[in-house]
């Protein structure tokens, strides 16, 4: 199985197409990661809320502990401060939940962008490459097969007329020479067909 053509022009086109496909994939992944970073900036308010809530809860908890040392009314003063500290913990949890939601959204968006980009690039690049590989293997198999040279010659006759200029017989007489089984003409036409496919004899 041959992955690249043997003729320089077609091989260059194939290598260029492969490089473009790789560059597009790399660019798509880079873009998706940049989008991920931008979306994660939205988590900053959540981090601030979490930090503020945690600091407030810690401060209120300390104040409640200090208030419990006040004679007679310490227990009364401690309860509302503890309730406020618990509420502040809820605020901190809300900030963490906001960060988690932003992180999930960023991950899903990045994944979707990468999958979409890879699918589009592969859909445009892979089928022609696979078709050429299969066609070149089939044509290469005809070279040594019985009657394969005749089929290759027929393929050349049905191809672009400009390619027939390499054959010694004028284009008008090529079909007659092929029908007569002229081995020289059939060989020349076979080489033309191989060249059209990007292969060498």
**Domain residues for 94?**
1-138
Domain identity same for 66 and 162: no
Domain identity same for 134 and 193: no
Domain identity same for 133 and 149: no
DSSP 100: H
**Candidate from 40-44, 54-58, 153-157 with smallest mean pLDDT:** 54-58
pLDDT tens by residue, 128-158: 988 888 888 887 777 777 777 777 777 777 7
Instruction: Enter the tokens of residue 107.
Output: 């991950």
Q: What is the pLDDT of residue 24?
A: 93
pLDDT tens by residue, 112-129: 999 999 999 999 999 998
Residues present in the chain in total: 201
Is the pLDDT at 81 greater than 70? The verdict is no
Domain identity same for 153 and 134: no
Are 152 and 178 in contact by the 8 Å Cβ rule? The answer is no
Domain identity same for 41 and 113: yes
Domain identity same for 118 and 168: no
With a threshold of 0.75, does the pTM exceed it? no
Report how far apart, in Å, the C-alpha atoms of 19 and of each of 64, 139, 142, 197, 198 are: 66, 26, 31, 21, 19
């Amino acid at each position: 199985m041959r992955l690249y053509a043997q003729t320089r022009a077609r091989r260059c086109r194939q290598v260029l197409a492969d490089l473009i496909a790789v560059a597009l994939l790399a660019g798509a992944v880079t873009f998706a990661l940049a989008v991920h970073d931008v979306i994660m900036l939205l988590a900053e308010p959540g981090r601030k809320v979490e930090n503020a809530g945690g600091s407030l809860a810690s401060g209120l908890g300390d104040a409640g502990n200090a208030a419990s040392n006040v004679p007679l009314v310490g227990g009364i003063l401690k309860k509302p401060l503890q309730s406020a500290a618990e509420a502040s913990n809820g605020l901190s949890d809300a900030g963490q939940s906001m960060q988690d939601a932003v992180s999930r959204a960023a991950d899903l968006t990045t994944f979707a962008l990468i999958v979409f980009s890879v699918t589009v690039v592969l859909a445009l690049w892979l089928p022609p490459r696979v078709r050429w590989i299969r066609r070149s293997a089939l044509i290469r198999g005809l070279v040594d097969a019985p009657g394969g040279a005749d089929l290759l010659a027929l393929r050349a006759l049905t191809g672009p007329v400009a390619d027939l200029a390499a054959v010694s017989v004028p284009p008008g007489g090529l079909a007659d020479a092929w029908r007569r089984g002229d081995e020289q003409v059939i060989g020349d036409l076979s080489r033309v067909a191989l060249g059209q496919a990007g292969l060498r004899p």
